[in-house]
Structures are given as C-alpha cells and as structure tokens.
Structure 1
C-alpha cells in the first residue's frame, strides 16, 4: 500500500462471555453476570484502556438457537450503549439496529440523541433482517422478499441521513436580543415521499457538530454490497484469508467510486477471532477446551441454523449432507457466512461433526490462534498488504482475553507504528479517520 491510514482500526465485538465455544461455563462469575450491564462495562473499560476505536454491539430481534445455551445480547443495544457512554470518555459506541422493523424518524432521533450525549462517539451498524421468526415479532406471518427488504433499507437510510442533516451544526443561534433560538433558514423539513415512507421533518434533535453517526453495513449478498458501497462508512465482513478480503475491499472501493464517493471513505473491517496464550500450543489447547464446552445437540442446532436446514436432516456421526443444503439464492440463514462455511467444509473434507466444530471454532471469520507475536503479525500482514482497514475483534473469552490482547498485542502494534499511543480525536468519525 502506498498510503497507510494512521492506524489499524480495532473494534471490540462485545459477545457476552466471549466468542469461542461456551466460555461462560468455566467462568468464575455467575451465569447471569454475562447478560448484565456490569459485564458490558467491564469489556468497554478494558477496550478504552487499550485505546480501541469502538465497542461493537450486534443484535437480532428474535431468539435464535444459540441463545438457549449461551449468554446472548439480551439488553437493548441503545440502552446498553447509553450506559456505556456515561461511564467512558473516548471509546466509540456501535449500535446495531435493523431497517426492516424500525421507523426511520424514531431511529434517527435515538441515534442523534446518543451522539449528543456521547460527544459524537456513535456508529449505526445497519442490518437488513430476514427470517420468518423475526417477522412474526412484528405482526407479519413471514419476512418480505430480500429484494423488498433491501429496497426498504435503501430508502430508510436515505431518510435517516436526510433527517440528521435537517438540523445542521450552527442551527442553534441563541440570539437573546431577538429571542430566536433556532435558525429557521437552517432547520429545514425534508418532505420525503417515497415508496415505503412519508416523513416531513425536520428532526427534533440537537445539532451534530461531529457530523453524522458513522454508518456500518453488514451483509455479503449482492444487495448488501451495493448498499454498503453507496451508503456505508465501514463494512463488517466475513473472510478467512487476506486474498478474499482484498478482493472485497477492491470491489467496495470500485462500487463506491461508481456511486460518486471517495473510495478511501469506506473502510473494510472483517471479523477476527483471537485465541491468545503464551505459546501456540497453549492457544490451540485453549481453543479445543472452549469448543468442547459446547454440547453435541447445541452444535447440531447451531449448524442447522447457519445452513438454513431442518435439524432433523443432520446427524453428527454421518457424512456432510450436501444434498440438503439450500440453493445459494435462498433467503435461509446468512448467505455470506453460509458460503464461507461451506467452502471450508469442502476444503477440509469434513463430515457433519467436523462441520459443526468448524462453525463452533469460528470458521466463517478470520482467526488467529497463537502467542502475542503471532497475533500481532497476523493483524500487521492483513493491514499492511491492503486486505483491510482494521478488524472487529472477536475475543475468545471476555473480558480476560481482551485484557491479554491489550497488554500483550497492542504494545507490539504500537512499536510498529500502526496503532495509536493515545486518543487524538474525540468522535468515532475521527477515530476512523473519516
């Protein structure tokens, strides 16, 4: 790469208890701790001590297979990140919210309010929710077709960003002589009248002196890539090798340029599972122990959900059922992550049990298992080669694994000049170099 960004972007993905296996089963904290705000705060404070860019909170509107057997994000992400904002000073706060089952005015106002109380440290990870289970929570019998969901998402984002722009910085004049507080020439209605929404505006919110909240997109389908290239500041993706990440980054940059955007304005941030120990052998043993904590029936259910198949079609002691896998154009499951998993199953020749363990080990994401030097080398190689702009860190155990990462890996990255030694900006947009 000719011009390196200031530093590699690193978000801490807050998966209660940790990413790999069932770490809550061997933790000293009581099980209920991992769905409490205290656990969220523990992770956020470690992340801020390490000068990471953001705490990333994923979310889904329905209970999924994995939620029955391990702690999941049961707290509403807006509420959780608002509390985290009050107990931190610089770390970014990424909230996941769906465009499928929200209202753009309400969502725009919530994000603007969180941006105001946090000093501009906010990002919106926008997702397009599929699956009939989620739809039934919102008075529908089934999820709308994918093309309709993405058309709604595109208009939704246009409305939200227009609302954020409807009360720009400087719109509070506070003229005591005339008694005018807001400038009517700057606070403008948006008068949107589209296919899915009719929104007059303007947004009732404080101005956004740090700019709009950062927009982050997750979705690997053709619809998702196109939407992200047109609207997102950062893309959260699943890749297992730097070549595929580099290809995706080049594709997104090309599509962004075609949409009239600066290609450098869109950051690619793959998920990265980290299993860190004193030696590679110790790290691999730690990985094995964590995966072994997942009961067989849970591994089978998780695999069935990821593949989009009936669990009755799977037998852990049988060959992998290639004939039962849905067509790649189906709406079942996450298409991008399913494709990566299937590629790994085919490459390794795994049976059904092997496929379940591949999924449990995080095979749909990049992963590094080793000592601090190996983890730092992995991050450096991907970043310097131009494969990505940073990572969403998916630490095996939280908060302990993140503490080890902060104390052991970050000093190496700082010594190489690719990670900050102090926060030099106050907003998430500033942290990302946007």
Structure 2
C-alpha cells in the first residue's frame, strides 16, 4: 500500500434511496416513485464521483423490509443497477450487496466478474448472510438455516467464488491470430470443490479479471460474522455506538486477521456515519427534526415494533419501552445486531418509546453528526487519526442534496487537512482502498 493511500480516509456513500431519514420523498418535486429509479441512483453516483469519493455502496435484502412500506425501497436488482451506473461513470467504485444464503456461487461469481470487466475493476461485493424465515420462503425453503449453518455455508460460498475468480491465469484470453486460438485451456484451471453445501467442478466462463478480482466487504456484527470478515474480507462494514467501541472492533478484526495469516492492514473497518448538515448546529438540528416530523407517528411506531421484534400493541408512544418483552434474539433478518446497537443508544439517552421511535427514524444504529461542515470533518478526523476506523460509509439525511453539501463543503476541509485525496490517482476500487 502506498503511503498516500494510508493517509486518506475511505469514504463511500451509502445509496439509501432518498436518504437515511426516509421522509424527503414526501416533499420532493420529482415525486416519490423517482427515488426507486436508476435515474436517482445515477444522480447520487455522479455527485459522489465529483467529490472523489471511493464508492457508491448499494445495500440490499432479498425480501421486503419494514421500512420499505413507508419509504423508497431498493426495488432494482443491485447488480443491474450498478451496471447502469458503471456505464455512466468513470472512477467511482461500485459496491453491490448479495447474500450467500440464497444465491449460487458460480452464477454470482460470473455476474461480479462481468461487472468488474465492464467497469474496469471498480467493483466490490458486500457479502451478507441472510436470516429470517420470510426470505427463506421466497427461496423454496420453509425456514432459514440455523445461524452456525448459515455462516458455514457463507464461508464455503466465498471460498468457491474466489477460487473461480482466481482460476484464470494471465494470458488465458490469448486471442492469438496466428494460431487461431482465442482462449488458452492451459491457463484456465478447472476447480473441484466438494463440500456439504456446494459441488462445483470445471472451468469458469467469465471475462478475465485484468484489473484484479472484486474486493470483498463483509457486513455482520455477530461473532460468526466478525470471524468470517477477518478471514476473508478486504473491508468490514459495521455499526458502532462510540469511538472506543469502534476501536475495539478494529483491533479485534486486525488480531483475527493476523491469526489467520493475513496482513492486518489488509482489512479495513468502515463504520456507518449519519450526517445532517447546515450552516449552524442549531439549524442542522431543526433540519433533522423537520425531516423526522415528515414521518407519521404510526409509521414511526410500526418501524420501531419491527426493529424490536415486538407486537405493535405493546408499544405506547408516550410511555416507557417494554424492556421485558424485547427478545434477546429475533426472527427478523439482521435484527439482533441492529437492535442491540439501537437499544444501547436508547439506554445512554434514557429515551422513552417516542424518543426511541424518532431515534430509529433518524437512522438509529449508527453514530450521527448533526452540525456544520467543520463538525463533520472533525468527527471524521478524530476517528480516523485515532485508529478507530479506516474510513466511513456515509449516510446522508437526504439524497442527493445532503451529499452535494458534503462534497462542496466537507470534502474541501478534509483535503486541506490532508485526510482525503485531491484527485483520483487510481482507476480501480482496489486501488482507491489502498489494497
């Protein structure tokens, strides 16, 4: 890794349609449906590229989530959407979320190799492990596998995908006009994987990864997820309640990576960071309140019940949270880790049910900076320079407007402080991340 790459914070924008708070669509002149279109995705990506950001991070789930009923949903298949973005941009990275629970490794490996080829190496795979019986039933199963089995499957899934990617040697696509040979079979190794979950044998049909294989990002805070990320991922996306919590996680991931025989610097920790910007902190707080007020109370309480995995009937908006009814585990995909972080914020602030509902509406399980460009830059600098993280997945209150303000007012401050690039010096996502 170059010294230049080590100095710079990694900054991705999390493309949450309309923004993290989920209400701006209700007053947008384009109409609410616009935010689920590829035109919206392109508008965000173009601003991110203008700001020299590392990547557009596109999350996804295989089934409809509670938020999707009342805020713009990610309805587009993420690989299809990012393929369009790839064709309309030049340098910005393209991170796609795809589950290991309900996909086929050969098919997914080929899709990502193709996206890497058309984007010239700007691709990352955010691999997630999906629980929840609703998703299982959409994929011909009655219920999700037990967590330990899901993660064993995920580990083998990633192993197959990376083995397929690595099976093409340099020069495999020879296109030799003299001999008439287009592909060299000696340079395309047949793989032979045989495990409980997958039997994959033969040669991989896909474009060569001339710019290196897609980077791997892991999202998941369970013990299983952290261990898998340390062994296999290039970056870990996480939610943390404070700087010390993030620093402990980064130290843990680095130690686990070293124990697995990896360079600890090869795994980047990228917490989520929610940002609400204005000229003054007071104005930013008013802006946040106004956006949350656009979400009806009944929507806020419905979303909170889904996140806590409790019946909506047990929640009284102006009463205390029913702590004794909140399960230690849950049936909702990804619910446990998200719920734990949300509840930690609730405890620290001593919030009632309304306060918890509004906190969730604001983004909930991620650290939030509500303030001026200087305050946002200070937060990024503090966490980055202190070793708590390698950068952030940015979640703006409103997209693309909030990102435009970040690019125009925060990025120049970070550049002056030597924390962010002043131009793209690499053309691949691997290069942007300094890997």
1:263 aligned partner? 264
CA deviations 1:361-411 (Å, max 9, x no partner) are: 223101111111111111111111111000000000010110000000000
Q: After the TM superposition, which of the residue ranges 34-43 and 201-210 deviates more from structure 2?
A: 201-210
1:25 aligned partner? 26
State the secondary structure of the residue aligned to 1:138. Answer: coil
Give the drift of 1:318.
2.2
Q: After the TM superposition, which of the residue ranges 16-25 and 321-330 deviates more from structure 2?
A: 321-330
Runs of 4+ in 1 over 4 A off after TM superposition: 328-333
Distance 2:7 2:35 in 1: 34
2:111 aligned partner? 110
State the secondary structure of the residue aligned to 1:417. Answer: coil
Give the drift of 1:168.
2.9
Distance 1:391 1:67 in 2: 24
Call closer, same or farther: CA 1:357–1:377 in 2, change over 3 Å.
same
Distance 1:26 1:151 in 2: 45
Taking the TM superposition and a 5 Å limit, the aligned residue runs for 1:92-241 are: 92-241=93-242
State the secondary structure of the residue aligned to 1:39. Answer: helix
Kindly indicate whether the alpha-carbon contact (under 8 Å) linking 1:192 and 1:199 is maintained by their aligned counterparts in 2. Answer: yes
Distance 1:431 1:356 in 2: 37
TM-score, L = length of structure 1: 0.97
What 5-or-longer segments of structure 2 have no aligned partner? none
Kindly indicate whether the alpha-carbon contact (under 8 Å) linking 2:12 and 2:53 is maintained by their aligned counterparts in 1. Answer: yes
TM-score, L = length of structure 2: 0.97
Kindly indicate whether the alpha-carbon contact (under 8 Å) linking 1:306 and 1:333 is maintained by their aligned counterparts in 2. Answer: no
Taking the TM superposition and a 5 Å limit, the aligned residue runs for 1:56-75 are: 56-75=57-76
Call closer, same or farther: CA 1:333–1:313 in 2, change over 3 Å.
farther
Distance 1:201 1:416 in 2: 51
Give the number of equivalent residue pairs.
433
1:362 aligned partner? 363
What 5-or-longer segments of structure 1 have no aligned partner? none
2:354 aligned partner? 353
- 1:410 equivalenced with 2:405 (yes/no): no
Distance 1:142 1:297 in 2: 30
Kindly indicate whether the alpha-carbon contact (under 8 Å) linking 1:10 and 1:53 is maintained by their aligned counterparts in 2. Answer: yes
State the secondary structure of the residue aligned to 1:309. Answer: coil
Give the drift of 1:331.
6.8
Call closer, same or farther: CA 1:75–1:317 in 2, change over 3 Å.
same
CA deviations 1:49-90 (Å, max 9, x no partner) are: 001000010001111111111101111101100000000000
State the secondary structure of the residue aligned to 2:185. Answer: coil
Distance 1:201 1:228 in 2: 27
2:8 aligned partner? 7
Distance 2:351 2:286 in 1: 20
1:247 aligned partner? 248
Kindly indicate whether the alpha-carbon contact (under 8 Å) linking 1:112 and 1:164 is maintained by their aligned counterparts in 2. Answer: yes
CA deviations 1:138-171 (Å, max 9, x no partner) are: 1112111111111110000000000001113321
CA deviations 1:324-360 (Å, max 9, x no partner) are: 1112487764222211111122222211111111211
Distance 2:92 2:48 in 1: 7
Distance 1:218 1:308 in 2: 21
Kindly indicate whether the alpha-carbon contact (under 8 Å) linking 2:130 and 2:334 is maintained by their aligned counterparts in 1. Answer: no
RMSD value, Cα: 1.5
CA deviations 1:309-335 (Å, max 9, x no partner) are: 222322212211111111248776422
Kindly indicate whether the alpha-carbon contact (under 8 Å) linking 1:220 and 1:335 is maintained by their aligned counterparts in 2. Answer: no
Kindly indicate whether the alpha-carbon contact (under 8 Å) linking 1:21 and 1:292 is maintained by their aligned counterparts in 2. Answer: no
Kindly indicate whether the alpha-carbon contact (under 8 Å) linking 1:163 and 1:190 is maintained by their aligned counterparts in 2. Answer: yes
Q: After the TM superposition, which of the residue ranges 332-341 and 201-210 deviates more from structure 2?
A: 332-341
Give the drift of 1:183.
2.2
- 1:385 equivalenced with 2:386 (yes/no): yes
State the secondary structure of the residue aligned to 1:343. Answer: helix
Distance 1:21 1:279 in 2: 23
State the secondary structure of the residue aligned to 1:191. Answer: strand
Distance 2:62 2:160 in 1: 22
